Amino acid sequence: MQKNFWYGKRVLVTGGEGFLASHLVKQLIDVGACVTTTVRHARPLNTLNLIQKGPKKSASPDVEHSDLLDFFALRRICDRHQIDTIFHLAASAIVSDAANSPMSTIENNVVGTLNILEVARINHIPRVVIASTDKSYGDHANDNLEKLPYRENYALRGLDVYSASKVCADVLSQTYSYQFKLPVVVLRPCNMYGPADLNFSRLIPRTIMCLLSGRAPHINAGNADVLREYMYIEDVVQGYLLAAEKVSDIYGENNQNMPKHGKETYGWAAFNLGSYTEKDLQNISKCDKIRSVTTVIDMLRKKIKNIEPVVKAKAANFIEIPDQYLDGGKLGKLGFKPKVNFEQGIDKTISWYKEHFDDLSGLAERYIAN
Ligand SMILES: NC(=O)c1ccc[n+]([C@@H]2O[C@H](COP(=O)([O-])OP(=O)(O)OC[C@H]3O[C@@H](n4cnc5c(N)ncnc54)[C@H](O)[C@@H]3O)[C@@H](O)[C@H]2O)c1
């Protein structure tokens, strides 16, 4: 992080109640930014409050209760707070929920992103970071030309509703970059984990809550061996901050670094957020953050309680993307270096869920019931 970069910056973080947003907001406030968040729904538990428990409390952001689908409200918010940086994180972000509500997911993730891009274009906002995902790349399993690890210039082939919505938002963001020279970067992170993810359908929070309550963890049928890459939430936050700090270097004066045509334009504004370079990935067994579902569950069983998992049938509409991991070299060249290894991250995560178990158990119940 550049010293004093964030001091006094006027930052909008969308979806302020979310997992990543809460951690990012806390960090931005700690380094002196003036933060505004948009929040759509009141939640039974406030994530930011949960991560701020303890003696060292940060200030609070300005909270605007607003839906991103309301373009004029969004514009008023950016004007009112004189926003100079946007982190667009709000999304319908749960893959299984998206499969059950395609219209609202696509509307929310695509039109919500379009509204952000359009406000940023009209207001000449100098730094915009859009959350995409490794899911956007989708299935490259048998692709001999575009093999794993995923690289930024690969085709985006997300074919389930969530991934497709993120592909559209990702491509729209690149369009605004290329056509309107909007200073936007698109981040494509791997799976994130850490304290205060209240989305209990996700593997790590669900398994921890199952084991802490003495119940069997779940494996979706056929899913036990697929590889996923994981990153601890504090590292993810550092990646987002760095990407925003580097926007003007990435574009260069008068956008001189932007390619004019051809393959150079493919994914030019996009950056993977992963821990490994192509060289590291030559020996994948040494990459401790790339793991199968079974090895994640086994590690949690060893650390919490050794209960045998149960295999659950997958919903008929659930598509499991084959193995996924990223070449993180492009953001690495800008100076990104994640610090937390998987074991350290998991230990911190388990401690947090243990400490907050009583607050969380009611909310988690429907996801952990056997
Ligand atoms: N968690 C992961 O592993 C992961 C990995 C890759 C990418 N991402 C992406 O990162 C971003 C943050 O993910 P997260 O895990 O923090 O998700 P999250 O579900 O915890 O947070 C998303 C927040 O956005 C809010 N929101 C949704 N639609 C809104 C709207 N129209 N107006 C205002 N608020 C709205 C939700 O209420 C929620 O609080 C998402 O864009 C997600 O797609 C997440």
What is the rounded distance in angstroms from the CA atom of residue 11 to the CA atom of residue 297?
Answer: 37
Tell the burial category of 70 from Cβ atoms under 10 Å away from its Cβ (0-12, 13-18, 19+).
middle
In a domain, 238, yes or no: yes
Q: Are 86 and 186 in contact (CB under 8 A)?
A: no
First to last CA, the chain: 44
Picking from 183, 187, 136, 191, the residue whose alpha carbon sits closest to that of residue 159 is: 136
Q: Which of 13, 19, 63 to mutate for ligand 1's pocket (most ligand atoms within 8 Å of CB)?
A: 19
In a domain, 311, yes or no: no
Taking CA atoms only, the protein residue closest to ligand 1 atom 18 is 18
What is the rounded distance in angstroms from the CA atom of residue 236 to the CA atom of residue 336?
Answer: 10
Supply the pLDDT for residue 222: 84
Question: Is 199 a pocket residue for ligand 1 (Cβ < 6 Å)?
Answer: yes
The total of other beta-carbon atoms located within 10 Å of residue 366's CB is 9
The residue behind tokens 């607050």 is: 359
Q: Which of 13, 14, 20 to mutate for ligand 1's pocket (most ligand atoms within 8 Å of CB)?
A: 20
Longest dimension (CA), the chain: 59
Task: State the distance from the centre of ligand 1 to the C-alpha of 15, rounded, in angstroms.
Answer: 6
DSSP state of 326: B
Asked if 162 is an active-site residue, the reply is yes
Supply the pLDDT for residue 55: 58
In a domain, 183, yes or no: yes
Taking CA atoms only, the protein residue closest to ligand 1 atom 11 is 89
Number of domains within the chain? 1
Residues of the domain holding 187? 10-198+231-281+319-340
Edge to edge, the sheet with strand 62-65 lists 62-65, 34-39, 10-14, 85-88, 128-131, 184-189, 270-273
In a domain, 180, yes or no: yes
Q: Which of 162, 232, 276, 325 is catalytic?
A: 162
Task: State the distance from the centre of ligand 1 to the C-alpha of 307, rounded, in angstroms.
Answer: 31
Question: Is 89 a pocket residue for ligand 1 (Cβ < 6 Å)?
Answer: yes
Task: State the distance from the centre of ligand 1 to the C-alpha of 16, rounded, in angstroms.
Answer: 9
In a domain, 205, yes or no: no
What is the rounded distance in angstroms from the CA atom of residue 233 to the CA atom of residue 127?
Answer: 22
Supply the pLDDT for residue 316: 87
Q: Which atom of ligand 1 is nearest to the CA of 134?
A: 6
Both tokens assigned to 147? 């093999």
In a domain, 212, yes or no: no
What is the rounded distance in angstroms from the CA atom of residue 190 to the CA atom of residue 230?
Answer: 6
Q: Which atom of ligand 1 is nearest to the CA of 92?
A: 27
Question: Is 157 a pocket residue for ligand 1 (Cβ < 6 Å)?
Answer: no
The CATH number covering residue 269 comes to 3.40.50.720
Supply the pLDDT for residue 56: 60
Q: Which atom of ligand 1 is nearest to the CA of 112?
A: 31
H/E stretch holding 269 reads none
Q: Which atom of ligand 1 is nearest to the CA of 198?
A: 20
The set of residues, in sequence order, having a beta carbon less than 8 Å from that of 370 and lying 6+ positions away, is 215, 216, 218, 310
Cα-only R_g, the chain: 20
Task: State the distance from the centre of ligand 1 to the C-alpha of 109, rounded, in angstroms.
Answer: 9
Q: Are 190 and 229 in contact (CB under 8 A)?
A: yes
Supply the pLDDT for residue 58: 67
Taking CA atoms only, the protein residue closest to ligand 1 atom 34 is 15
Q: Quick check: pTM over 0.95?
A: yes
pLDDT by residue for the chain (370 residues), tens digit each?
Answer: 777 999 999 999 999 989 999 999 999 999 999 999 999 987 888 888 888 866 566 678 999 999 999 999 999 999 999 999 999 999 999 999 999 999 999 999 999 999 999 999 999 999 999 999 999 999 998 899 999 999 999 999 998 999 999 999 999 999 999 999 999 999 999 999 999 999 999 999 999 999 999 999 999 888 899 999 999 999 999 999 999 999 999 999 999 999 999 999 999 999 999 999 999 999 999 999 999 999 999 999 999 999 999 999 988 888 889 999 999 999 999 999 999 999 999 999 999 999 999 999 999 999 998 7
Task: State the distance from the centre of ligand 1 to the C-alpha of 286, rounded, in angstroms.
Answer: 30
* DSSP 3-state of 74: helix
- Cα dihedral value 188, 190, 194, 198, nearest 10: 80
Q: Which atom of ligand 1 is nearest to the CA of 93?
A: 43
- DSSP assignment of 108-165, as one string? IIIIHHHHHHHHHHHTT-S-EEEE--GGGGB--TT-SSSPSSB-TTSPPB--SHHHHH
Q: Which of 68, 70, 133 to mutate for ligand 1's pocket (most ligand atoms within 8 Å of CB)?
A: 133
What is the rounded distance in angstroms from the CA atom of residue 368 to the CA atom of residue 202?
Answer: 11
Q: Which of 39, 40, 113, 190 to mutate for ligand 1's pocket (most ligand atoms within 8 Å of CB)?
A: 40
Task: State the distance from the centre of ligand 1 to the C-alpha of 185, rounded, in angstroms.
Answer: 17
Question: Residue type for 162, please?
Answer: Y
The set of residues, in sequence order, having a beta carbon less than 8 Å from that of 136 and lying 6+ positions away, is 156, 158, 163, 166, 167, 170, 188
In a domain, 179, yes or no: yes
Question: Residue type for 304, please?
Answer: I
What is the rounded distance in angstroms from the CA atom of residue 189 to the CA atom of residue 100?
Answer: 24
H/E stretch holding 34 reads strand 34-39
DSSP state of 44: S
In a domain, 301, yes or no: no
Q: Are 190 and 274 in contact (CB under 8 A)?
A: yes
Beta bridge partners of 291: 228
